[in-house]
Amino acid sequence: MRSPTPSVFIQGIGAYKPERRLTNDDLSRIVDTSDEWIRTRSGIRERRIAALGESNADLGAAAAAAAIQDAGISREDIDLLIVATVSAEGPVPSTACQIQQKLGLRSGIPAFDIAAACSGFVYLLQIASHMLRAGDYRSALIVATEKLSGITDWQDRATCVLFGDGAGAAVVAKCDEPYVGILGNVLGADGTRGDLLTVSPRTGPKPASVADLPVGTHVIGMNGREIFRNAVRVMSQACRGVLEKCNVPASRLSLIIPHQANLRIIDAIASDLELPLQCFKLNLERVGNTSAASIPLALEEAYREGQIKVGDYILLVAFGGGFTWGATLIKWYQPKTS
Ligand code: ACO
């Protein structure tokens, strides 16, 4: 396989989960649902919810600080910051600029947001890799942060049971070692199916807050069945596409980290790829669907729990509103310490 040069690898990874847990039983006191329905349809038992006053940028900044620390570099070293989110409190200032300010990152570095919904982290890896390889930057900080509680319609049982809050971040850097780190990506989008998942202004009167949950001006709407069908098809194709591009057989994979939308979707992808479910990292039971933050939250957990070793082939795969998709193949790398 043609090795992209120089190699770009994940130097540090961090995550942040808000303290507050919202269980399925808690939700059954808000809408007409049950723990049994939610678990069997989605695999989710509980999700984290940001504290009152905790912003989307606060979640991202906490994950980013952890990633910088894990990389063993100083905040001064970051020379590029890109954030993926669909749940910023407002469009300006960008969440990236807010995180730059909160962490005291160097003034003058570029900082901007992207919106690719649940595919956001995979998009970030590709954008950062190309910007690093182009030679203008040395250490990129990529952050995926979502405060989905702020755009959840707590009166809609079809959606409010699926989502949660959280953030994940990575420091991405170049190295001279050939054929390591981010080996390849495939990204895609199909704007003709934008109707499948939307964040739109709330219609009707704004309800009172329940159980101290935020009541936002915008809410998520979705066509669950169509998302399910398309997610399985497109994520399976993206996995095959990136493996083929990098000339790595599926049998070499140590771990697949899928977007954590729904256990049944992941199960169907495993069947489609003829891989056991044990190859897939799962944490949706405890965090729900955190959109762009979903993959880095699961990646950080796998890394921290020792499920990832140097030389392992790791496949990340996502599908999101837009709709968008992407897959990234990584050969895990850590520079040797002298
Ligand atoms: N509790 C109890 N009953 C419910 C709930 C709930 N929370 N939500 C819906 N129902 C009811 C419906 O009203 C319906 O009742 P009816 O038969 O009397 O009309 C019944 O359950 C079946 O509803 P469906 O929507 O047909 O349920 P389905 O089996 O399709 O499961 C689900 C719904 C879980 C959303 C499924 O379609 C799915 O997993 N889709 C994927 C969506 C997804 O993962 N979205 C995440 C965001 S997108 C992304 O991350 C890429």
| Catalytic residue annotation | 118, 259, 289
Query: Which structural domain range is residue 120 located in?
Result: 1-338
CA of 228 from ligand 1 middle (Å) equals: 10
CA of 164 from ligand 1 middle (Å) equals: 16
What domain count does the chain have? 1
CATH number at residue 322: 3.40.47.10
- Which tens digits make up the pLDDT trace of 37-78? 999 999 999 999 999 999 999 999 999 999 999 999 999 999
Q: What is the largest CA-CA distance in the chain?
A: 63
Q: What is the pTM of this model?
A: 0.96
End-to-end CA distance of the chain: 30
Structure tokens that stand for 60 in this block: 């991202």
Q: Classify strands 197-201 and 253-258 as parallel, antiparallel or unpaired.
A: unpaired
Name residues whose C-beta falls within 8 Å of residue 80's C-beta, 6 or more positions apart in sequence.
109, 110, 111, 128, 131, 132, 137, 139, 140, 141
Residues 250/238, Cβ–Cβ less than 8 Å: no
CA of 212 from ligand 1 middle (Å) equals: 25
Ligand 1 residue neighbourhood (C-beta within 6 Å):
33, 37-38, 41-42, 118, 157-158, 161-162, 197, 222, 224-225, 227-228, 231, 261-262, 264, 289, 319-320
**Which of 225, 264, 269, 317 to mutate to test ligand 1, by most ligand atoms within 8 A of the CB atom?**
225
Residues 298/314, Cβ–Cβ less than 8 Å: no
**Which of 23, 38, 39, 41 to mutate to test ligand 1, by most ligand atoms within 8 A of the CB atom?**
41
- Rounded CA-CA distance 170/303 in Å is 12
pLDDT value of position 135: 87
Instruction: Tell the residue nearest (CA) to atom 2 of ligand 1.
Output: 33
- Rounded CA-CA distance 269/283 in Å is 16
Amino acid at 223: N
pLDDT value of position 2: 55
| Per-residue H/E/C for the chain | CCCCCCEEEEEEEEEECCCEEEEHHHHHCCCCCCHHHHHHHHCCCEEEECCCCCCHHHHHHHHHHHHHHHHCCCHHHCCEEEEECCCCCCCCCCHHHHHHHHHCCCCCCCEEEECCHHHHHHHHHHHHHHHHHCCCCCEEEEEEEEEHHHHCCCCCHHHHCCECEEEEEEEEEEECCCCCEEEEEEEEECHHHHHHEEEEECCCCCCCCCCCCCCCCEEEEECHHHHHHHHHHHHHHHHHHHHHHHCCCHHHEEEEEECCCCHHHHHHHHHHHCCCHHHECCCHHHHCECHHHHHHHHHHHHHHCCCCCCCCEEEEEEEECCCEEEEEEEECCCCCCC
User: Cα angle at 231 between 259 and 226, to 5 degrees?
Assistant: 135
Instruction: Tell the residue nearest (CA) to atom 26 of ligand 1.
Output: 225
Print pLDDT tens along the chain (338 aa). 556 779 999 999 999 999 999 999 999 999 999 999 999 999 999 999 999 999 999 999 999 999 999 999 999 999 999 999 999 999 999 999 999 999 999 999 999 999 999 999 999 999 999 999 998 899 999 999 999 999 999 999 999 999 999 999 999 999 999 999 999 999 999 999 999 999 999 988 888 888 899 888 999 999 999 999 999 999 999 999 999 999 999 999 999 999 999 999 999 999 999 999 999 999 999 999 999 999 999 999 999 999 999 999 999 999 999 999 999 999 999 987 75
- Helix 263-273, helix 224-246: angle, nearest 10: 40
pLDDT value of position 335: 87
